[in-house]
Amino acid sequence: MKQVTISTPFITLIVLDYGAIIQKVLVKDKNGKSVNVVAGYNTPNSYLEDNKFLGACVGRYAGRISNGGFELDREMYHLFQKDGVHLHGGKEGFGKKYWTIEEVHQGRQPFVKLSYHSKHLEEGYPGNLKVFVTYKLINNQLHIIHEASTDRTTVVNLTNHSYFRLDDESQINDYDLQLHCSKLVETYTDLLPTGKLISVKETSFDFLKKRKIGTTRLDTPFVLDSGSKIAGMVSSQKTGIAMEISTNQPALICYTPQEFPAICFETQNYPDAPNKKNFPNSKLRPGEIYKNESLFVFDLL
């Protein structure tokens, strides 16, 4: 397993070729101490046994798909499912594959670019898909760029699955969270979408104004407000570290696991969009380029 480190005076990023995983993101806290702000393992081989998608590139379709598959151009494609749900690309998905390190640049704006070739009907998805993910550092900013092209019509939804942990506390209740999301994708108990978008107002999911996470636990597809460049912000008073998220994607899935204190911000399309005609387009056709550009900016309060 290969490991690549790039850094600026503000951020150090460690990436693995396995799963295109972000292993560590090191930033300075208010006391000048270096803090790893993503949950993960110190030993790269430990990720071989991980089932939480820690730091991984998730695909071919991030999130949940219903009905054991989808219909595309009048043809049905069958996907692996568990309890009626297809999750994060299937049995393995991109987070369990070895990627090719295409390029490493250590200059003023360092980056690492990785690629993966997903063959036609891998995990049931049509089309030979060529995927690239680029992690780029500009001063105090982490840019994550997912790109893909295909030789036949398919569906694509890629994201990074890092769990952010801004301090060493045993819970995240005291994190301040703000989301520029007036609506969320309504889901059933199995977290598959109903097809409806509902208002967050007067619910525990209303983070339109900055407030403590408190006891609210999330596994929630939020809809980004149109016209808002910034999707959200999270911060820890203990370390003084704040992180701002912006993206060109329509949704921000926020997830707080029960097992450890952290929060995911998955910038992506709506879950189950291949089966919901009223959801944003998830199709990628030959000659088109899929692109998910997301930006994580670290600062001090």
Residue 49 appears among annotated catalytic residues: no
Tell me the C-alpha to C-alpha distance, in Å, between residue 300 and each of 28, 30, 77, 235, 242.
9, 6, 47, 9, 6
- What are phi and psi for residue 47, nearest 5 degrees? -70, -20
DSSP 8-state secondary structure symbol assigned to residue 285? -
Residue 78 falls in the annotated catalytic set: no
Region of 274 (left: φ > 0; alpha: ψ -120 to 50; beta: rest) is alpha
> Residue 68's CB: how many other CB atoms inside 10 A?
15
Q: Which of 262, 55, 261, 33 is nearest to 164 (CA)?
A: 262
Which residue among 122, 123, 147, 266 is the active-site one? 266
47: Cα separation from own chain's centroid:
17
Q: Residues 161, 169, 180, 293: which is the catalytic one?
A: 161
Report whether 116 contacts 99 (CB < 8 A): yes
Q: Which are the contacts of 266, defined by CB distance < 8 A and separation ≥ 6?
A: 58, 62, 63, 159, 160, 161, 252, 253, 254, 255
DSSP string across 250-261: SEEEEE--SSSS
Report residue 115 as tokens. Answer: 């690629």
Residues 6+ apart with CB under 8 A from 22: 13, 14, 15, 38, 40, 55, 135, 160, 162
- Please give the positions annotated as active site: 161, 266
